[in-house]
Each structure stands twice: as structure tokens, then as C-alpha cells.
Amino acid sequence: MNRKIPSAILTVAVVALSALQCGAEQAKKKQGSGVLFTYDSGTQWLSWDRSGRLMYVVGFLEGWRRGLFELAVDYADCDDAAAEKQGLFTGASTEQLVDSADKFYSDPINRQVTVPDALRYLLDQIAGTPASALQKRLEEIRRVGTFNKRAADK
């Protein structure tokens, strides 16, 4: 296995975390509140134009796919079939996923759900995950979204 890949991933992770921390500190100073972190929720999603939403979804899907390949112990075992088993490729287009997220966030109760959680839920929905499993997942991501919102509001 190539040792440069893990060090490159570590470098990217450190830079990304530094940027997030800097952004959170700026948000905290700007708002003058106790915000310790920021997250993309349905409120932010609805504020973006369609182009921004499409770009977010493309980045989300690409990051997920890349993560599957990077984290695979044996890269030869992580192909499109393995990614399909993880629910990444559902036959949904980027536009369909954006439309699904728009519909999801049109319900005010879902607006505290983080965008990555919502997209994963919607991918499961499009893939035909049983309704009982979807309902359990929806309750979970709403609960986590509410917790995140309360923590951000403190």
C-alpha cells in the first residue's frame, strides 16, 4: 500500500479542520454568542440558489465515493459494486437528489437536520430502503439536528 496516500489524507484533514476552526471562531466573534461550531442545516440549504445546492450535492457524493476508496484496506475490493452496497449509487441523478432535499426541507420540522444527514437519508429513500428503517433513521436525524441546534444556540 502506498504510504503517501495516508499522509496526504492527514494533511488535507488537518487543513480542513483548521479552516473549520477558524470559520467557527469568526462566526462566534461575529455573532457575539456561544457558537462553538457551525453546520449546514435545512435553513442554510433553502438560502442557497439551485446552483449552490447542485454543487453541494456533487461535492457530497464525490467526497463519499472518495472516502470509500481511500478507506478500503484493499483498493481492489472497493469498486462500484462495493459502493453500491454502501448505498452511494442509487440511480438517482444529482438533480433528483436536490429536488428531494428541497421537498424534505419544505417541512419546517426537518430544517434542523444537517444537510449530510438529510442527503444520506434521501439516498436510502431513493434506493428503496424499507419504510420502517427510514422512519427510524428520520427520527434519529431529527433528534441529532435538534441537539446540534440547541448546542449552537447556547
β-partners of residue 114 are: 41
What does the domain layout of the chain look like in residue ranges?
1-38, 39-153
Rounded to an integer, what distance in angstroms lies between the CA atom of residue 88 and that of residue 104?
Answer: 19
Name the nearest CA neighbour of 92 among 134, 60, 47, 52.
Answer: 60
Q: Which of 5-9, 110-114, 115-119 has the lowest mean pLDDT?
A: 5-9
Average pLDDT of every residue of the chain: 73
Per-residue pLDDT for 152 more than 90? no
- Burial, 51: exposed, middle or buried (Cβ in 10 Å; 0-12, 13-18, 19+)? exposed
Describe the chain by its helix, strand, coil percentages, rounded to 5. 75, 0, 25
